Amino acid sequence: MQPLIDNARTFGQRPEEFAKLAAGQSPQVLFITCSDSRVVPALITGARPGELFELRTAGNIVPPYLSDRPTGEAATIEYAVEVLGVQDVVVCGHSHCGAVGALVRGDDLDGVPAVRDWLAHAADEPGTSDPDDPTVMGAVQNHVLAQLLRLRSYPCVEKRLADGRLRVRGWYYEVHTGAVREHRADTDRFEAL
């Protein structure tokens, strides 16, 4: 922890870059990804402060939209779309994802009941994956597509997709290489950006 504190102590010594942020934010992208520490959206995209609005959840899950039971995830998505007017939403899954791996393997999660219940409530079965493949690539990519479907069902997203003001993208990030692939509708495959 100490190196992180040391960095934070000196981080604010760049007033000229940050002063304009007091005027507000107008990010063009909502970036939804896993809480995994190996996935660093600003590093992957090169985004500077103010450029990416982020939602991070265990397993980059977009939970079902429930109008009678608001969630923090739905609030973040709705704010990004309706108030900030982002033009793109990226759902980015990643290789070696612990959440997707647990679903694929059917891990016993009774020791972490909140994780167990979150995955049970929010995630669909991501499909099978090669048991010898530690990246769980196939399952993660299926899982990303399932989250995109969920996202499209959010009323604010559905409306803006229909009138062409919003695009949604599915990404797959390899934590061990840094490579990013995007789902292409024409080939129905994840291909290099």
Minimum CB distance to Zn ion, residue 110 (Å): 20
Contact predicate 171/93, CB 8 Å: yes
- Binding residues for Zn ion, rule: CB under 5 A, are 34, 36, 97
- Nearer to Zn ion (CB atom), residue 27 or residue 93: 93
Q: Which residue, 36 or 73, has its beta carbon nearer to Zn ion?
A: 36
Task: Report phi then psi at 5, rounded to 5.
Answer: -65, -40
Closest distance to Zn ion from the beta carbon of 22 (Å): 34
Rounded Cα distance between 31 and 91, Å, is 6
Give the nearest distance from C-beta 58 to Zn ion in angstroms: 7
Could you tell me which of 32, 141, 128, 130 has the C-alpha nearest to residue 94?
A: 141
DSSP 30: E
86/136 with CB nearer Zn ion = 136
